[in-house]
Amino acid sequence: MDFEEFFPIWDKLTVPQQNTLRARVISRHVTRGTIVHDGNLECTGLIIVQSGQLRAFINSEEGREITIYRLFDRDICLLSASCMMQSMQFEVIISAEKETDFWIIPPYVYKGIMEESAPVANYTNELMASHFSDVMWLMEQIMWKSLDKRVAAFLLEEMTIEDTNQLKITHETIANHLGSHREVITRMLRYFQNEGIVRLSRGTITVLNPKKLSELESA
Amino acid sequence: MDFEEFFPIWDKLTVPQQNTLRARVISRHVTRGTIVHDGNLECTGLIIVQSGQLRAFINSEEGREITIYRLFDRDICLLSASCMMQSMQFEVIISAEKETDFWIIPPYVYKGIMEESAPVANYTNELMASHFSDVMWLMEQIMWKSLDKRVAAFLLEEMTIEDTNQLKITHETIANHLGSHREVITRMLRYFQNEGIVRLSRGTITVLNPKKLSELESA
């Protein structure tokens, strides 16, 4: 698969811009667990996912984490190039949740094109608006939704992503997605188990009653 | 004062773009408490504050509120023109905290210029990045900071804005800024009073010990 097919506004670039991108884009393959971008240390550039799954998150000084968004095939991440913009004053960390192939457009290559091209700048606006909307959605969840609903929503999302009701995921990982503590998640999952919604076993959460989970989420 | 002086990249516009903006910009004056933009109902456009104070917030179905950011003289609000962008899928409400003079650039006027102008599109990116950074900052506060520190930070911010240690603000208003409940804020303020940090009287919070407040915030 060609990079050009994954870059949504390829045909709005000039020929010199296309040539620059072709010459400068970097292809990478990472295994599960790799830190792809550590906002505090580096300015990676735009990430374009060919295939796999990435996770963008922030963390606290105490090491708690919360997932901001996830990236799947064809998704593009702008926040890994946040150094391009003066006003972007926060950093995310991006890690691979699965084996992932992706491209990186170096930040100063992209910035150069963006500054001269209205279509690229407008496209970048849409990318940022999309990340921004994810974060606002998350904020509303955190502010107005109780944790049981958020855990229910997370399990349903995982079932969709993995296409199975047997989720190989630790309580610690769920806590890190939701910005919570492992103990709190364990307590919640035990409550779900008592209600007959899930069955817990070592390293696996089996969803027995997706309908009830879904009712709980939207209650 | 002229609108042109308040629009930061005026000299990067073409003469026809300048003429369009001059002809289409709307000047408004509102009293304290006016809802300037209700995201669920309307697409107002870009707001440019000449003088005064505006507050952007979101609310829950139950009527709880949380302040996203505030706008002061010369600040520009992009989220009141969120309809301009397909990927912007959330809405804010903007109300006047003080008597305020501002300009509105209608969304389709701005969008037209942004689509043809790389400098305007790039400037818009910076505006959005700035709002986005405010929200990420807020999210980190909510996730990792306890409410006592957030109340302390809010009181210190108010003291700076109003340039006084006698704050005429209700507990309900503080709750609406911080996404909390009035009862919770009252309890917290009484604790501050017991510690000798503030004195509470009807409609007024007097900060007696700003140093202690500041230590509490950064503890």
Q: Mind listing the pLDDT tens digit for each residue in A120-162? A: 999 999 999 999 999 999 999 998 899 999 999 999 999 999 9
Q: How far apart are CA A24 and CA B48, in angstroms?
A: 39
Binary contact (B143, A87; C-beta < 8 A): no
Report the candidate in B95, B109, B88 with the shortest Cα–Cα distance to residue B67.
Answer: B95
Which chain B positions have a beta carbon within 8 Å of A179's beta carbon? 143
Chain segment A196-217, per-residue pLDDT in tens: 999 999 889 999 999 999 999 9
Q: How far apart are CA B206 and CA A207, in angstroms?
A: 54
Where does the pLDDT of residue B2 fall: very low under 50, low under 70, confident under 90, or very high at 90 and above? confident
The C-alpha angle with vertex A44 and arms to A48 and B137, in degrees rounded to 5, equals 100
Q: How far apart are CA A74 and CA A182, in angstroms?
A: 32
Q: For A35-68, give one letter per residue: b (16+ CB within 10 A) or e.
A: ebbebeeeebbbbbbbebbbbbbbbeeeeebbbb
Q: Which residue among B62, B89, B114 sits closest to A122, beta carbon to beta carbon?
A: B114
Chain segment A56-89, per-residue pLDDT in tens: 999 988 888 999 999 999 999 999 999 999 998 8
Q: Which residue among A86, A118, A131 sits closest to B121, beta carbon to beta carbon?
A: A118
Q: How far apart are CA B118 and CA A143, in angstroms?
A: 37
- CB of B40 within 8 Å of a chain A CB? The answer is no
pLDDT for res A42: 83
Mean pLDDT along residues B17-43: 94
Chain segment B50-105, per-residue pLDDT in tens: 999 999 999 988 888 999 999 999 999 999 999 999 998 888 999 999 999 999 99
* Cβ neighbours for B10, distance < 8 A, ≥ 6 positions apart: B4, B18
Binary contact (B142, A144; C-beta < 8 A): no
Place of tokens 């302040």: B67
Instruction: Specify whether the CB–CB gap between A125 and B84 falls below 8 A.
Output: no
Mean pLDDT along residues B36-55: 93
Place of tokens 């792809």: A36
Q: What is the DSSP string of A166-209?
A: EE---HHHHHHHHT--HHHHHHHHHHHHHTTSEEEETTEEEES-
Which chain A positions have a beta carbon within 8 Å of B140's beta carbon? 58, 60, 90
Instruction: Specify whether the CB–CB gap between B202 and B167 falls below 8 A.
Output: no
Instruction: Specify whether the CB–CB gap between A118 and B116 falls below 8 A.
Output: yes
**Among B residues 52-81, those touching chain A with beta carbons less than 8 Å apart:** 58, 60-62, 64, 66
CB atoms within 10 A of CB A218: 8
- CB of A89 within 8 Å of a chain B CB? The answer is yes
pLDDT for res B107: 95
Where does the pLDDT of residue B152 fall: very low under 50, low under 70, confident under 90, or very high at 90 and above? very high
Which chain B positions have a beta carbon within 8 Å of A128's beta carbon? 125, 128-129, 132
CA B206 to each of CA B172, B186, B200: distance values in angstroms, whole numbers, following the listed order? 16, 14, 6
| Chain centroid offset of residue B117 CA | 27
pLDDT for res A96: 98
Binary contact (A90, B136; C-beta < 8 A): yes
Q: Which residue among A85, A133, A142 sits closest to B89, beta carbon to beta carbon?
A: A133
Where does the pLDDT of residue B40 fall: very low under 50, low under 70, confident under 90, or very high at 90 and above? confident
Q: For the sheet with A26-30, list strands across it.
A: A26-30, A100-105, A46-51, A76-77
Where does the pLDDT of residue A1 fall: very low under 50, low under 70, confident under 90, or very high at 90 and above? low
Closest chain B residue to A130 measured between Cα atoms?
Answer: B87
Residues of chain B with pLDDT > 90, as a percent, come to 87
Q: Which residue among B135, B144, B179 sits closest to A64, beta carbon to beta carbon?
A: B144
- CB of A133 within 8 Å of a chain B CB? The answer is yes
- Bridge partners (DSSP) of residue A189 are none
Sign of CA dihedral A204, A207, A208, A212: positive
Mean pLDDT along residues A19-43: 93
- Bridge partners (DSSP) of residue B216 are none
- CB of B138 within 8 Å of a chain A CB? The answer is yes
Where does the pLDDT of residue B207 fall: very low under 50, low under 70, confident under 90, or very high at 90 and above? very high
B39, pLDDT greater than 80: yes
Q: Which residue among B62, B128, B144 sits closest to A128, beta carbon to beta carbon?
A: B128
Number of Cβ pairs closer than 8 Å across A and B? 123
Mean pLDDT along residues A39-62: 92
Q: Which residue among B85, B117, B135 sits closest to A139, beta carbon to beta carbon?
A: B135
ipTM: 0.90
- CB of B124 within 8 Å of a chain A CB? The answer is yes
CA B133 to each of CA A70, B42, B136, B155: distance values in angstroms, whole numbers, following the listed order? 19, 25, 5, 21
N residues, chain B: 219
Where does the pLDDT of residue B1 fall: very low under 50, low under 70, confident under 90, or very high at 90 and above? low
Binary contact (A126, B61; C-beta < 8 A): no
